[in-house]
Structure 1
Amino acid sequence: MVKIFVITYSTYNHINQVAESIVEGLQKADVEVGRYQVAETLSEEILTKMHAAPKPDLPIIKAQDLVEADGFLFGFPTRYGTTPAQVKAFFDSTGQLWQKQALAGKPVGFFFSTASQHGGQEVTVFTTLPILAHHGMIYVPFGYANAHLFDNSEVIGGSPWGAGTIAGGDGSRQPSEKELAIARDQGENFAKVAIKLAAN
């Protein structure tokens, strides 16, 4: 069975909520799902001052774990249009895998959160693509495979680059049902691509 890892970093739990819907979509396509989180680099003191949410009870991903999966969906908030330092630190730890090209040909997708509608959801993925290029991994965009991406009647996170949520400047806005529906469809669509690639 094709194995997909859903790997997240979340400060205020918005990404973990979206990840649950991503997993639901993956399971609809009958793939094995591994759920991991990226290690925190901030101290408890700083996290407390930030009013960060408690971390979920998930294993911490290690670089070597990646070789076990057939594909990956990474979820994280944007930091000025790029990945958080915690996610960058994880990618920086994959040097030995890069040397061996151990991840070449594996599909990758992204989902994300931002404080505002124009907070960099698309550019966050765009600035991460060089990492995939160096590893020889295959980026799988979502496209407009969910009608909610055409809905301009309300605030809806997500784009053809991947599912997303708008958290609000103070983190008070929670993922909407439309955003979670987009995430479920992304999970299912990604699984179908991963299954096709694994069959070759």
Structure 2
Amino acid sequence: MAGAVADGAREGGAQVDVRRVPELVSDDVAQASHYKLDQAAPLASVDELPDYDAIIVGAPTRFGRVPAQMAQFWDQTGGLWMRGALVGKIGAAFTSTATQHGGQETTLFSILTTLLHHGMMVSGLPYSFQGQMGLEAVKGGSPYGASTLSDTDGSRMPGSADLDGARFLGRHVATLAARHIA
């Protein structure tokens, strides 16, 4: 999903950096718990956030909310909040859940709420992306952001509608950011 969001943002003319937040457990615990550790994306830094015109946050759902790793990362942004360092930037969100009713919208809201507290202007996945409509297939997407379903064992990969929605979101945010800074 992150790759599709990034591709869409590039299509919209943006320069894109894909980052990930640090794990909160030791490597031994992460390996024993089957964490996905082979990620190519470098670690994100709170200090680099003000350098971006737009920030699209992606996080899996953990019991209807963001996982501890993402919450801990954003909990470190109090200094940015105090300075108003993210005020006026464009923000958006995407997520994945194990099940259809596993908390996609509450996770997206928790991300968007954080971005709003920072004074960011937020965008969802507008219904102009028609791929999120219809019941012909299991798919994610909502007016709050792009999403997908992974199944309880993580075996389901995003479908074409999910990836199209992620690309649409990235392109849409890039377009909004370009208008805003122009």
**TM-score under structure 2 normalisation?**
0.94
Decide which moves more: 126-135 or 84-93: 126-135
Which structure shows the bigger proportion of residues in strand conformation? 1
Distance apart, 1:101 and its partner CA: 0.6
The one-letter amino acid of 2:63's match is Y
Structure 1 residues 129 and 178: CA distance shift in structure 2, 3 A: closer
What is the root-mean-square deviation in Å for CA atoms of aligned residues? 1.3
Which residue does 2:88 correspond to in 1?
A: 105
The one-letter amino acid of 1:184's match is R
Which residue does 2:68 correspond to in 1?
A: 85
Which residue does 1:5 correspond to in 2?
A: none
**TM-score under structure 1 normalisation?**
0.86
> Match of 2:16, SS?
strand
Which residue does 2:157 correspond to in 1?
A: 174
**Partners in 1 of 2:25 and 2:126 — Cα distance?**
34
Decide which moves more: 56-65 or 99-108: 56-65
Distance apart, 1:186 and its partner CA: 1.0
Which residue does 1:41 correspond to in 2?
A: 24
Distance apart, 1:103 and its partner CA: 0.7
**Partners in 1 of 2:13 and 2:113 — Cα distance?**
30
Which residue does 2:58 correspond to in 1?
A: 75
| Deviation digits for residues 126-177 of structure 1 (CA, Å, limit 9, x no counterpart) | 2233322321111111121322211201110121111111000111111112
| Deviation digits for residues 60-115 of structure 1 (CA, Å, limit 9, x no counterpart) | 11111001110100111011111110011110111111111111111100000000
Which residue does 2:110 correspond to in 1?
A: 127
- 1:96 corresponds to 2:79: yes
- 1:31 corresponds to 2:14: yes
The one-letter amino acid of 1:146's match is F
Whether contact under 8 Å (2:93, 2:111) holds in the other structure is no
**Partners in 2 of 1:70 and 1:189 — Cα distance?**
13
**Partners in 1 of 2:170 and 2:130 — Cα distance?**
15
Distance apart, 1:29 and its partner CA: 1.2
Q: Specify every segment of 5 or more residues in structure 2 that has no aligned partner in the other structure, as ranges.
A: none
Whether contact under 8 Å (2:13, 2:175) holds in the other structure is no
**How many pairs align?**
182
**Partners in 1 of 2:38 and 2:68 — Cα distance?**
17
Which residue does 1:187 correspond to in 2?
A: 170
Which residue does 1:6 correspond to in 2?
A: none
